[in-house]
A and B are shown apart, each in its own frame.
Chain A
Amino acid sequence: LIKAGNKPPVTSTPGKPKKATTFQEFESITSDAWDVGDDDDELLAMAAQNLNIEVVMETANKVIENHSKQQERRQQQLDEPPGPEEKDGKEEQDKDEEERLEEEETTAELSFSSERFHHSDNRLVKSHSEAPIGSPKEMSGERAALYRQQSLPHRPVIPLVARMADQNTSGTPAMTEREASRLDKFKQLLAGPNTDLEELRKLSWSGIPRQVRPITWKLLSGYLPANAERRASTLQRKRQEYFGFIEQYYDSRNDEHHQDTYRQIHIDIPRTNPLIPLFQQASVQEIFERILFIWAIRHPASGYVQGINDLVTPFFVVYIFEYIEEEVENFDVSSLQEEVLRNIEADSFWCMSKLLDGIQ
């Protein structure tokens, strides 16, 4: 897999002290190395045939790139012990990569529910404070495991805002040119009076910057109209409609003909993301129960099917992100305004419904 060209171009003379920026320099020198499609038949053959070829290429290239970066880093560490500044730089890099993986896991949950068995042991969103910044050996092991699981487009860019919000650290490196330009592309698309959904979908394939993710999901799922002017009223109407359903139907959960449905949902709620504190909160579990019950009785031909509970999760998490800066895993939803939480609930319901409509 590793070709000669992948070897890091930096040759260091042992004993000669390195500048703190060496790694960044290396990164910027090689950042365009993988932009051009490079054929790696083996990886392509392994990839699902119906995946977008560009996406497959990008993923494959990114994996190779990361691998060679790790090699480079290991080589550097072998050559000489890093200075304190340089070490910081590496950790930043580690954090970035950790984060990308987290982001991908979230997306993967959404699109590949059939892979849930593989994901079930990995928490949906890792808290950053807990992310291991251990020895390179451990790191590469964990990464390798994650890479094997992921089958979705790699997301090479995380905007600054997301990074800060996710990590709560100061002094994060400035947004790269690529990151900034990607975010700009999204913002431009979203700013117009009518969003070009095809263009937005295309752009989203390689990842949606966190700060535009909620609106992008709502648009691409068909929940919100492409016409910007109509969005606010649509949101208001849909949210009202959802809570109308609750008022009208939720009491019927104890009726005899709905008992089986409600019982099954009730069994599954505590085992939905059981290792993440966010989902252990009573108010969150109640939200999931309402969303699932209403969906089930409004779709009698399907009813509640185990696994639908897991489809609510990504929407719920992304729509919470819209309102908070801190990590979501241990977030206490009672610190949100009631109105906000209701909006998140209604939006999650409708987007999950849209997703399932597409399957049926």
Chain B
Amino acid sequence: MEDYDYLFKIVLIGNAGVGKTCLVRRFTQGLFPPGQGATIGVDFMIKTVEIKGVKVKLQIWDTAGQERFRSITQSYYRSANALILTYDITCEDSFRCLPEWLREIEQYANNQVVTILVGNKIDLAEKREVHRQRAEEFAEAQSMLYLETSAKESDNVEKLFLDLACVLIREAKQNTLDNNDSAPMPGEGKNINYLSCCNIN
């Protein structure tokens, strides 16, 4: 018997060097590697969390940010239940690439996928190039959740993944009710109500 109630697949995407791997490692291993090399292709880690007595296994896929790897990373979008689109708040460039990433999502991801925009590196506040309000507005316009994090200081990292898990559980439950099906199939549900149970932001 598998020791979980739900299994969700979460894929991190975003430009190179914005801190995708560091977010994953902070969440799954509780550490911030001082020197994190570039991710080649795709890597994944697993963490099981318990939310209100429900065991949720999170399968977290970490992708290479460099454009050169897109053909590899694209194939991981399709079966994702959630996407964490990451940019670096100290790097305007990584923010300006977001529309490009949204096109990728539209093209390759399941249209029921939950997408959250994450502005990472808030520990470097003095180097901030992208204002929070601007990012929030952008996220809202694109129907995305928004959260700012620091993998280094561990700010909001736990919240990011747990909130996502909450949304996904809701979605899965909703799906079960609608289909009157005892076996929930996460990721194949209908539209998600973005007012999450965990009060994001």
Distance to closest chain A CB from B159 (angstroms): 26
Contacts of A306 in B (CB 8 A): 16, 38-40, 64-66, 68-69
Once the chains are docked, how many angstroms separate the CA of A114 from the CA of B43? 11
Are A310 and B16 closer than 8 Å at their CB atoms?
no
Are A303 and B68 closer than 8 Å at their CB atoms?
yes
Are A272 and B17 closer than 8 Å at their CB atoms?
no
In the complex, residue of chain A having the shortest beta-carbon distance to the beta carbon of B67: A260
Once the chains are docked, how many angstroms separate the CA of A271 from the CA of B40? 13
Are A271 and B37 closer than 8 Å at their CB atoms?
yes
Q: With A264-B16, A306-B16 in contact, do A116 and B37 touch (Cβ < 8 Å)?
A: yes
Tell whether A22 is near chain B: CB-to-CB under 8 Å.
Answer: no
Once the chains are docked, how many angstroms separate the CA of A271 from the CA of B65? 14
1/0 per position for B36-62, CB-CB distance to A under 8 A?
111110010000000000000000000
What band does the interface of chain B fall in when counting residues whose beta carbon is under 8 Å from A? 10 to 19
Are B69 and A271 closer than 8 Å at their CB atoms?
no
Distance to closest chain A CB from B111 (angstroms): 30
Contacts of B38 in A (CB 8 A): 267-268, 271, 306-307, 309
Tell whether A180 is near chain B: CB-to-CB under 8 Å.
Answer: no
Contacts of B36 in A (CB 8 A): 120, 271, 274
User: How many residues does chain A have at the interface if contact means C-beta atoms less than 8 Å apart?
Assistant: 22
Q: With A117-B43, A306-B16 in contact, do A272 and B37 touch (Cβ < 8 Å)?
A: yes
Are A267 and B35 closer than 8 Å at their CB atoms?
no
Distance to closest chain A CB from B68 (angstroms): 5
Contacts of B43 in A (CB 8 A): 117
From 86 to 130 in chain A, residues with beta carbon under 8 angstroms from any chain B beta carbon are 113-114, 116-117, 120-121
From 144 to 174 in chain A, residues with beta carbon under 8 angstroms from any chain B beta carbon are none
From 179 to 230 in chain A, residues with beta carbon under 8 angstroms from any chain B beta carbon are none
Once the chains are docked, how many angstroms separate the CA of A308 from the CA of B36? 15
Tell whether A356 is near chain B: CB-to-CB under 8 Å.
Answer: no
Once the chains are docked, how many angstroms separate the CA of A116 from the CA of B66? 17
Are A267 and B40 closer than 8 Å at their CB atoms?
no
Are B37 and A305 closer than 8 Å at their CB atoms?
no
Tell whether A275 is near chain B: CB-to-CB under 8 Å.
Answer: yes
Are B35 and A116 closer than 8 Å at their CB atoms?
no
Q: With A264-B66, A267-B16, A267-B17 in contact, do A307 and B35 touch (Cβ < 8 Å)?
A: no
Distance to closest chain A CB from B38 (angstroms): 4
Once the chains are docked, how many angstroms separate the CA of A260 from the CA of B93? 11
Contacts of B67 in A (CB 8 A): 260
From 40 to 73 in chain A, residues with beta carbon under 8 angstroms from any chain B beta carbon are none
The contact sample of 28 A-B pairs, CB cut-off 8 A, is: A113-B40, A114-B40, A116-B37, A116-B40, A117-B43, A120-B37, A260-B67, A264-B16, A267-B17, A268-B37, A271-B17, A271-B35, A271-B37, A274-B34, A274-B36, A303-B68, A304-B68, A305-B66, A305-B69, A306-B16, A306-B39, A306-B40, A306-B65, A306-B66, A306-B69, A307-B38, A307-B40, A309-B38
Residues of chain B touching chain A, judged by Cβ–Cβ distance below 8 Å, are: 16-17, 33-40, 43, 64-69
8 further contact pairs, Cβ within 8 A, besides A268-B38, A273-B35, A306-B40 = A120-B36, A120-B37, A267-B16, A267-B17, A271-B37, A271-B38, A274-B35, A304-B68
